[in-house]
Chain A
Amino acid sequence: MSGIEEISNESVEVKEDEEFDVEAEDHLRDDFFHDPTRYIFYRDRKEWSDLEPVPQDDGPNPVVKIAYSEKFSDVYDYFRALLKNDERSERAFALTSEAIELNAANYTVWHYRRVLLQSLSKDLREEMRYITAIIEEQPKNYQVWHHRRMVVEWLNDPSEELEFIADILSQDAKNYHAWQHRQWVIQEYKLWDDELDFVENLLEEDVRNNSAWNQRHFVISHTSGFSDAMEREIQYCLCQIKKAPNNESAWNYLKGILQPLGLSSQPGLLERVLELKQTHCSPYLLAFLFDCYEDALENSKENVAEEEQQKTLKKALEICQLLAQEDTIRKEYWLFLGRSLKNKHGSSDPSSEPLADDPEPSVPASGQQEMS
């Protein structure tokens, strides 16, 4: 039997015994080996002998060839054989588990497994347990999350999802796959009720968690909307900003919720931010101020005097100068923004102050590289 020479390294000692062991051939034919450390290749398993293994064929000059072990190749040679025949059987299903363990990123294995789950009417609750364990081990793999989504859809039962995702997020609070799956479940099954609380807890733990801020926006925009909630949300932002002034996420959120109405639409907000500037300044605060001034210039009513406009412009340009000093990595950008604003809204008054050493005006012409 060819199996004797090819027993894996782990069982070399067993092999030597078997040369004189009357029971050897019985053991080799035995599908349920008693020694769990002795692995039997599929090619040596009697119940697989009807199948011809299908090797990978990369031709005469393979590129980026992965050097698989015998065990790996053996499993996948049999996977390919099953696939070719589109076999629908328990043994095929069992083999997909092994194939997944060796490479959970192989989307064809997952697809075939789903075909089998349906063909064989497998227990989907058990599959949920299976996929839960796999995701816990490999939470950044696309295929495993997609598989879970499919099983949840088939069961039409999202009852475990929020808790499961919360557990994954407790290990990595910014896992993009987890958040995506969470949004899908919530939207699909209308599980909005407790989500704002969930988000607030996460923000308590880490006010800089940008994913949580995004989720906050997601929940509110799909539930109450931002009109009645606006003042509360502004308050929430300013409160978080006081706790952690250098938090881009909080400022992005504040700007984001106001943007559709216009940053200068909220009475009193500018003043509150100017106050904050004294004690909790940051480049984000300054950029927000700039954006407020720009919004005022863009959306000024007919009756706003030219003088008023020029005052706003001057304040905006001062902010640019400040940003160029405080947020040095973006110095050139802030100066560029100032120049652009000046070009757009500046008066023709020759005595207005130059912005930077480089007098080059530059609003980008067509902005982007168009392909022809």
Chain B
Amino acid sequence: MAEEESQFEEFDQIDFLRDRHVRFFQRTLQVLPERYASLETTRLTIIFFALSGLDVLDALDVIDRNTMIEWIYSLQVLPTEDQVNLSRCGFRGSSHIGIPYSTKGPGVLHPYDSGHVAMTYTGLCSLLILGDDLSRVNKQACLAGLRALQLEDGSFYAVPEGSENDIRFIYCAASICYMLDDWSGMDIQKAIEYIRGSLSYDNGFGQGAGRESHGGWTYCAIASLCLMGRLEEALSQRELDRIRRWCIMRQQSGFQGRPNKPVDTCYSFWVGATLELLDVFQYTNFDKNRSFILSTQDRLVGGFAKWPDSHPDPLHAYLGLCGLSLIGEPSLRKVHPALNITQRAFQHVQQLQQTWRSSTGSCSRQH
């Protein structure tokens, strides 16, 4: 590189404070102050960030796995005796509806209780990270709940009552089907059409057709196609090359989410992982990326923030670590770029699926 920064000046910045991050995630898993109220309905995603973060740090030994597993299972929306709520099954984000704590079925009928696609996704991930075998997951119910969320245009709602619908939830759906090794949960062809429709004139992906291209939605698009095993079927080589270009132009130091926007730690993962899936992450500048991520590290409380001198939060703490993992930070476990869990957890998924396939004696219902 042309400029070489003084090692001494940069020493503070390049010091990766592993133990602080471990403690940051430990605290996250315990109690958060009331100002985090807006996270109530998405607490399961916060658990995922903390657990996967600890996994990336190779520090899962600091938590009590069984306690966590029980709590996650208490969030499963199970079918009632008569299965009348089947299309509402999945996982909740938290206990906010007021269903009495229970880790086993049958489900309790409640007029407003239903799963949320992002919680089903992060719930399953979290269980797998903790080494659970998903034997207490009602897979058919989860898949029925998932099918109920897909619209005609291929996108998904988050909840059966209705919500906004966009590409984020396609990614959640694809991850769920991938983990459960069962693609009956979604119409892949329609999802591919929606994804293709979200490709912008500038070769990034927006949240839907016509919308501005964005690093997060680009990740959702590409990672979904990879999980489905349809990347090269859905996109031509020329399109893939153009998408590579859009993504690689996001690097300014760290990565930005959209052209002419400031860089933000989380895009080191969203865009970085996309580039990795497209086989060109190796051509990015690792040093500048690393320097930026570490400049957002909170040296006191641990974790990472979106920008330097900002407050850390679980999402940026987790994705900051993933960003560092992608560039090969020595003390960190490798992350599977499409499923966004460690390769270690991914191997557990694969072994589990082997067991499922051999026990049924036939291939799973794949595409």
Q: Which residues of A contact B (CB under 8 A)?
A: 54-69, 72, 76, 80-81, 83-84, 86, 102-108, 111-112, 141-142, 145-146, 174, 176, 179-180, 183, 187, 208-211, 214, 217-218, 221-222, 247-249, 252-253, 255-257, 259, 287, 328-333, 336, 364, 366-372
Contact = CB atoms under 8 A, between A and B. Distances in A.
Contacts of A336: 280, 283
Interface in B320-339: 337-338
B1, B201, B261, most chain A CB atoms within 10 A: B201
A371 B277 CA distance: 11
Q: Which of A56, A145, A259: most chain B CB closer than 10 A?
A: A56
Nearest to A105: B38
Interface in B294-337: 337
Instruction: Determine chain B's interface SS by DSSP, over half rule.
Output: loop
B214 A248 contact: no
B232 A368 contact: yes
Given A64-B28, A330-B285, A333-B280, A253 B212 contact: no
B72 to A, nearest CB: 8
Contacts of B46: 64
Contacts of B282: 332
Contacts of A287: 245
6 contacts: A57-B98, A57-B99, A84-B98, A210-B261, A248-B249, A371-B229
B36 interface: yes
A367 B279 CA distance: 5
B321 to A, nearest CB: 18
Nearest to B246: A252
Contact of B32 (A60, A67, A210): A67
A111 B116 CA distance: 13
Contacts of B288: 329
A367 B111 CA distance: 48
B261 A83 contact: no
Given A57-B98, A146-B164, A328-B1, A66 B251 contact: no
Contacts of A366: 232
B111 A255 contact: no
B285 A57 contact: no
Interface in B275-289: 276-280, 282-285, 288
Task: Give the top 7 A-B pairs by smallest Cβ distance, nearest first.
Answer: A256-B201, A80-B98, A59-B101, A333-B283, A252-B202, A54-B98, A214-B212
B52 interface: no
